[in-house]
Amino acid sequence: MARLLKSETVDHSVEERLDDRLARRSEDSFDEAERNGLMLAAKVRTFALCIVLVWVAVDTQSRGIGFLYDVSQVAVFAVLGIMQFYFAKYSAHARVLNYAFVAVDCALLALISSIQNPFTEHDMPPAILMNGSQFTYFYLFLMQAAFSFRPSLVLWCGLCIVAARTGMLVWFVNQPGTFTNLDLTERTIEDLLLARSDPNFIFLGFWVQEILVCLLVAAGLAALVRRSRWLVESRIRSERSRTNLARYFSPNVVDRLASSEDNLGEAREQEVAVMFVDIIGFTTMCENDTPGEVVSFLRRYHDRLGKAVFENGGTLDKYLGDGLMATFGTPEPGGQDARDALQCAFDMLDSLDDWNRERKAAGLPQVRIGIGIHYGPVVSGDIGNQRRLEYSVIGDTVNVASRLEQLTRTLECSLVVSASVIQAIHPTDDSGNSLVERLEPAGEHALRGRRGKIGVWAYPPKTSRRVADLIR
């Protein structure tokens, strides 16, 4: 019992480590997206400030030094935007600095909005400055934060705006002569309208509306960014699953599995066609090749065979060095699995014939393969542990298919098929029967590790093999 608990604890810890590793990879991906988003936001900010600069130049009544003072305020934010761009691109502490830059932006805008131009003759009452339109520029910072893919940064920006605007209110309310609607003895409509005509009056309702709208916009943008992150994470998981499936299944099967909620890895028994393929004399053929040349050869070889498997709706179970194992009827059995396996075998042989003609013209040795196919019951599902799982099939059918592939050396042929494959092809299946006609019965043979004999069919027929030998 203690061993069982220990084993379950180990498996659970391994699973947690894998989950943590995937979480870290996703977080790293979002860190990179945040970095790129902030760099883009800095560019957009600079462009927006250029538009603001043109508007300030047109709208301001100041001249001379006063005009330069107004323009320099915009220039300061442009410099901060450039700094943010380079920190986001090169600094390892960009995430922490982003929060600092947001706070500085909001505090600086509040400060500039609260101080009058010292080089102008006009003395604006505090209430006019408080109720001015410069508050809308705060939303540029919210826009910039939304580029970051960080909901927390968007919320932080909203809170900084609230703090900055509240600080402005406290500053102006404490200026001499300034009063608010709370200071009115009578709060009738007439008194409120009369107070509104006073340039030193600050209506607190406007401040409440600004804060409320700012918080709602910040919360909405944060929710939007969070949803965008969720959609990206979902897409990453989906594409990762689809990519993993595409390594083994044909494209049409991948699409069906990707849209299905069934548990693919759950063990189940079903009847499938199992195929084994191997190169005959591979060691001798490549004994003088470099490792790079061997790998390059195997890639081209597997590309051809894998293509034939997928084109016939098969599942690529695994590559076995210079061979492969494929199944037909997984993950879902069909009525033509045996025929599909047989068609795949002939497609492989035809593809290798074309390749051998190219290799012969280039003075390269010919590639000969042996293929064994058997049809019968298997157990399919995920095999392995939490660290490495592999969708595969096991059972006597797999062992027989492997032995049939080895039998091609004894029978000196390219393809050996068990009688169960022939029997699995329906009598009314014209295309399947035309494939069977290309085979010839090769008698019954004993297979290593298995009692009794099994009936087999071979390709090419003996007559064709004799003709081929005479041509050579």
Q: Contact, 279 vs 406, CB < 8 A?
A: no
Query: Per-residue pLDDT tens for 14-73?
Result: 444 545 555 555 566 666 767 777 778 778 777 877 787 777 677 666 666 767 777 777
CATH of the domain at 306: 3.30.70.1230
Q: At 371, give phi and psi (nearest 5°).
A: -125, 130
Total domains in the chain come to 2
Residue 407 — pLDDT band, cuts 50, 70, 90?
A: very high
74 shares a domain with 180: yes
High-pLDDT (> 70) share of the chain, %: 77
196 shares a domain with 47: yes
Q: What is the pLDDT of residue 241?
A: 66
For the record, the structure tokens of 146 come out as 């939304």
Which domain does 342 fall in, by range? 268-471
217 shares a domain with 106: yes
Which residues, in sequence order, are CB contacts of 248 under 8 Å at separation 6+?
315, 316, 317, 391
High-pLDDT (> 90) share of the chain, %: 28
In a domain, 198, yes or no: yes
In a domain, 425, yes or no: yes
Q: What is the pLDDT of residue 291?
A: 87
pTM above 0.75, yes or no: no
70 shares a domain with 143: yes
Q: What is the pLDDT of residue 118?
A: 67
Residue 421 — pLDDT band, cuts 50, 70, 90?
A: very high
278 shares a domain with 189: no
In a domain, 189, yes or no: yes
For the record, the structure tokens of 107 come out as 């505090």
Closest CA to 308 of 354, 344, 350: 344
Which residues, in sequence order, are CB contacts of 91 under 8 Å at separation 6+?
97
Burial readout 62-77 (b: 16 or more C-beta within 10 A, e: otherwise): beeebbeebeebbeeb
In a domain, 250, yes or no: no
In a domain, 15, yes or no: no
For the record, the structure tokens of 25 come out as 């990879």
Q: What is the pLDDT of residue 318?
A: 83
HEC profile for the chain? CHHHHHHHHHHHHHHHHHHHHHHHHHHHHHHHHHHHHHHHHHHHHHHHHHHHHHHHHHHCCCCCHHHHHHHHHHHHHHHHHHHHHHHHHHCCCHHHHHHHHHHHHHHHHHHHHHCCCCCCCCCCCHHHHHCCHHHHHHHHHHHHHHCCCCHHHHHHHHHHHHHHHHHHHHHHHCCCCCEEHHHCCCCCHHHHHHHHCCCCEECHHHHHHHHHHHHHHHHHHHHHHHHHHHHHHHHHHHHHHHHHHHCCECHHHHHHHHCCCCCCCCCEEEEEEEEEEEECCHHHHCCCCCHHHHHHHHHHHHHHHHHHHHHCCCEEEEEECCEEEEEECCCCCCCCHHHHHHHHHHHHHHHHHHHHHHHHHCCCCCCCEEEEEEEEEEEEEEEECCCCEEEEEECHHHHHHHHHHHHHHHHCCCEEEEHHHHHHCCCCCHHHHHHHCCCEEEEEEECCCCCCEEEEEEECCHHHHHHHHHHC
d(CA 13, CA 358): 53
In a domain, 257, yes or no: no
Q: Average per-residue pLDDT in the chain?
A: 80
In a domain, 398, yes or no: yes
- Amino acid identity, residue 349? L
d(CA 71, CA 65): 10
d(CA 250, CA 260): 15
Residue 417 — pLDDT band, cuts 50, 70, 90?
A: very high
In a domain, 154, yes or no: yes
CA distances from 177 to 77, 121, 206, 322 (A): 32, 20, 19, 91
> Does position 398 have pLDDT exceeding 60, yes or no?
yes
411 shares a domain with 321: yes
309 shares a domain with 214: no
Which residues, in sequence order, are CB contacts of 345 under 8 Å at separation 6+?
275, 371, 373, 415, 417, 459
Q: What is the pLDDT of residue 380?
A: 80
For the record, the structure tokens of 346 come out as 């002939």
Final residue of a structural domain among 243, 276, 299: 243
Do the bridges between strand 323-328 and strand 453-459 make them parallel or antiparallel, or are there none, so unpaired?
Answer: unpaired
Final residue of a structural domain among 228, 243, 258: 243
d(CA 239, CA 225): 21
> Does position 391 have pLDDT exceeding 50, yes or no?
yes
Poorest-confidence range of 186-190, 393-397, 412-416, 438-442? Answer: 186-190
Average pLDDT over residues 185-200: 78
195 shares a domain with 306: no
Q: What is the pLDDT of residue 262?
A: 58
Q: Contact, 279 vs 405, CB < 8 A?
A: no
Q: What is the pLDDT of residue 18?
A: 45
Closest CA to 270 of 374, 373, 393: 393
Q: What is the pLDDT of residue 259?
A: 61
Which residues, in sequence order, are CB contacts of 308 under 8 Å at separation 6+?
344, 347, 348, 351
198 shares a domain with 284: no
453 shares a domain with 369: yes
159 shares a domain with 111: yes
Average pLDDT over residues 322-329: 90
Q: What is the pLDDT of residue 256?
A: 59
168 shares a domain with 287: no
